Structure 1
Amino acid sequence: MSDIAVSPEIAAAPKALLHDHLDGGVRPQTIIEISDEIGYTNLPRTDAAALDQWFRESADSGSLVRYLETFEHTVAVMQTPAGLHRVAKECALDLAADGVVYAESRYAPEQHVAGGLAMEEVVEAVNAGFREGETEAAAAGRPIQVRALLTAMRHAARSREIAELAARYRDDGVVGFDIAGAEAGYPPTRHLDAFEYLQRENAHFTIHAGEAFGLPSIWEAIQWCGADRLGHGVRIVDDVDTSGDAPVLGRLAAYVRDARIPLEMCPSSNLQTGAAASYAEHPITLLKDLRFRVTVNTDNRLMSGTTLGREMQHLVDDAGWTLSDIRWATINALKSAFIPYDVRLALIEKVVKPGYVALGVPAYTV
């Protein structure tokens, strides 16, 4: 999907990532090796390059059944402490190699208990993997902070339990909660109990909304559930009238912009799901120009064959973005991260801004 040469400037630019699925970014070679270790025999390919290609072709196929099958294989190798630890560690290393200095990686603990693990054991294995990856990345001169978001599946009934798990591990690497899965037929209000619990606990959460389903999903996520951020949120553009000389925002779009509600936008993924026709036409650029709180993300790096650097390069090449725009979106992401204010500010002032000045981008002014 995203075969593209990343420029030296974008490769070197410090980046921040808010929407990246752990089970959507596993290395193909790792899938093969863990499958051998645990006796998983259902892989469609047993050569790493061929398996990588299969994942991308399946995600691009237009078949939802085939797209969902890709996750069956990645989740299958994430059912043991060792498997979860390795995948999390490699996630941190791969993101650091891409120039990411801060990332939030999300996964659904309820999908990793088929081998008998308790959800607490899943969380602890992933956290340990992230910490080891951070240590190795720092030793290699690529410091990164990786934090976890715990996801509940919209079609299941464990959201309150997982919300409580997120709150329990909030001082041990878990910074928030999420719901994911099919939007149509599974509105976020089905999980209102979980969101109300998190609000009482002063905890953060994001909600997948406005990806495959439209404005009602976004409205419920914000006005009923109280989402801090919107996962994707691309369909907010349906409430922007561009037929005249200047765009006119409807009430919901105006609220989202005025309240600075972050949009976790994932261009390549949206092209695969049909939420956008091309990088040039993706609503992210219109929303950037209208100064919504836009962030750039990867969603599923394996399925989309992408990195955050590639996502940014596509926007530069096809949608006219500049390095200043990339820096703006990066600062948006850090402003919107579920970590303490002083940590966010330090990353912005001591890492991101100097990093872009070193690339020749004029000093940042508000």
Structure 2
Amino acid sequence: MTSQTVPPGIPSSDQIRRAPKVLLHDHLDGGLRPATVVDLARESGYTQLPDTDPEKLGLWFREAADSGSLERYLETFSHTVGVMQTRQALVRVARECAQDLAADGVVYAEVRYAPEQHLEGGLSLQEVVEAVNEGFREGERLALAEGHRIRIGALLTAMRHAARSLEIAELANAYRDAGVVGFDIAGAEAGYPPTRHLDAFEYLKRENNHFTIHAGEAFGLPSIWQALQWCGADRLGHGVRIIDDIRVREDGTVELGRLASYVRDKRIPLELCPSSNLQTGAAPSYAEHPIGLLRRLHFRATVNTDNRLMSHTSMSREFEHLVEAFGYTLDDMQWFTVNGMKSAFIPFDERLAMINDVIKPGYAALKSEWLFRQTASTSPSAPPEG
């Protein structure tokens, strides 16, 4: 094999961290630094934290999220949201989010949050959005000064159990040219189908705006079908349960059901979150996560973090798990990353520029580095002088 045809191999942890990455499914209130939670609680007088030592608090978040108890899992968000009720807190959390993602090699991210959950301190919905946008812009500037380029778009989330989805959709549309790139709906799937919020989705479609729907994580195929066929979602938040419509026969051949075929044929993006899916029971292990089969079948699969604090994860950690489980190479990482960028809610020309000017050159450099190291490690040593 010539050096041009040698396939790039499995990346090191350092290469995974330095590789350009795209993140489409990340919750702002699920990604705080433990030390920031402690600081904000002290500043705001929030006294309900289970621990005020940052290291112990971070461990508590991870253990509560891993406990298998829905009550304990939801409690983790009550604490992060509880300290995000002022303008200063929202600016800081958004700024640090941008910095943390950039330091992890993320070059483009869409970060979601529910404005209606940050009104207890007297802020208006508009003030919440403007504070988060300010924080993202500050974080982008600080990251660039540290040598890390990142662009962040906000997704405004409405809660399934509430009745403000149309109001939040209108808010997302009002700020669509000021940092907000789309709309999302989240919360418990069972008992709260997306069809309860059809007025919001119809409004967004009339305005030619983008939206994703949390679907196919806990409730399965009916949730996916409703999100797509009744509501017209551009992407599926999680969507991991599409695997329920895929049959792998004993001889290894694969049969796709009608819904799975539709999702693949229409190139509908799946916002897969491996670590989070393990916590919620959507997959038993990384090696058994449906992402392996979905990648092999060429679904529009993307890799995401969901809640970095609760899952003790990052984009680099997610890829490290997948590299270990499936033997993925830099080519596979690039495939997932390009999928993410193709599926982003920004204009086509801007997506294309990110792919051609940032992502592909970044991976080309890493592949060249890998090939150089391989060549150096296999070349015979020069004979000693004399």
TM-score (norm 1): 0.97
Query: Paired residue for 1:64, among 52, 61, 70?
Result: 70
Q: Which residue of 1 aligns with 2:258?
A: 251
Q: What is the match of residue 9 of structure 1?
A: 15
Matched, 1:145 2:151: yes
The residue identity in structure 2 corresponding to 1:326 is M
- What amino acid does structure 1 have at the position aligned with 2:155? L
- 2-side partners of 1:361 and 1:347: how far apart? 20
**SS across alignment from 1:302:** coil
1:183/1:212 contact within 8 Å kept: yes
Secondary structure of residue in 1 paired with 2:367: coil
Aligned to 2:379: none
The whole-number CA distance in structure 2 between the counterparts of 1:137 and 1:286 is 36
Question: Is 1:281–1:319's contact at 8 Å kept on the other side of the alignment?
Answer: no
Following superposition, the deviation at residue 101 of structure 1 comes to 0.2
2:190 matched residue in structure 1: 184
Any conservation in 1 of the 2:330–2:367 contact (CA below 8 Å)? no
Q: Specify the SS of the correspondent of 1:46.
A: coil
Q: Does 1:207 align with 2:221?
A: no
Q: Aligned-pair distance for 1:319? A: 2.1
Aligned to 2:33: 27
Counterpart pick for 1:100 among 98, 106, 112: 106
Among 271, 290, 294, which residue is 2:297 paired with?
Answer: 290
Identify which of 314, 334, 340 aligns with 1:333.
340
Larger Rg computed on CA atoms:
2
Deviation digits for residues 292-339 of structure 1 (CA, Å, limit 9, x no counterpart): 000000000000000000000100001222211111000000000000
Q: Paired residue for 2:119?
A: 113
Gapped regions of structure 1 (runs ≥ 5): none
Q: How far does the alpha carbon of each residue in 1:154-200 deviate from its partner, in whole angstroms, 9 at most, with x for none?
A: 00000000000000000000000000000000001001000000000
Shift of the alpha carbon at 1:244? 4.2
SS at match of 2:156: strand
Distance in 2 of aligned mates of 1:6 and 1:171:
39
Q: CA deviation at 1:347?
A: 0.6
Q: 1: CA distance between counterparts of 2:213 and 2:281?
A: 20
Which of the numbers 210, 233, 240 marks the counterpart of 1:234?
A: 240
Distance, in Å, in 2 between the alignment partners of 1:310 and 1:288 is 18
Letter aligned with residue 315 of structure 1: L
Q: Distance in 2 between matches of 1:210 and 1:41?
A: 36
Return the match for 2:317 from 285, 310, 319: 310
Tell me the distance in 2 between the aligned counterparts of 1:270 and 1:190: 25
Letter matched to residue 169 of structure 2: A
Partner of 1:157: 163
Deviation sequence 1:208-237 (CA, Å, 0-9, x none) = 000011100000000000000000000000
1:197 aligns with 2:203: yes
Match of 1:129 among 121, 131, 135: 135
Residues 361 and 154 of structure 1: CA distance in aligned 2, closer, same or farther (over 3 Å): farther
Q: Distance in 2 between matches of 1:320 and 1:293?
A: 19
- Tell me, what secondary structure is at the counterpart of 1:58? helix
**C-alpha separation in 2, matches of 1:292 and 1:130:** 31
Partner-residue secondary structure (3-state), 1:353:
helix
Q: CA RMSD in A?
A: 1.1
Whether the 8 Å contact between 1:10 and 1:313 is mirrored in structure 2 is yes
| C-alpha separation in 1, matches of 2:167 and 2:21 | 32
Shift of 1:128: 0.2
Question: Contact 1:324/1:361 (CA < 8 Å) preserved in 2?
Answer: no
Q: CA deviation at 1:124?
A: 0.2
Residue 83 of structure 1 pairs with residue 85 of structure 2: no
Give the alignment partner of residue 279 of structure 1, picking from 282, 286, 300: 286
1:360 paired to 2:367: yes
| AA partner of residue 261 (structure 1) | I
Q: Which amino acid aligns with 2:337?
A: T
Aligned: 1:320 with 2:327: yes
Q: For residues 11 and 36 of structure 1, what CA distance do their matches in structure 2 show?
A: 33
Structure 2 distance, partners of 1:6, 1:99, is 14
AA matched with 2:163: A
In structure 2, runs of 5+ residues without a counterpart are 1-10, 370-386
Query: Are the equivalent residues in 2 in contact too, given 1:6–1:310 (CA < 8 A)?
Result: no
Q: Structure 2: which amino acid aligns with 1:185?
A: G
TM-score (normalizing by structure 2): 0.92
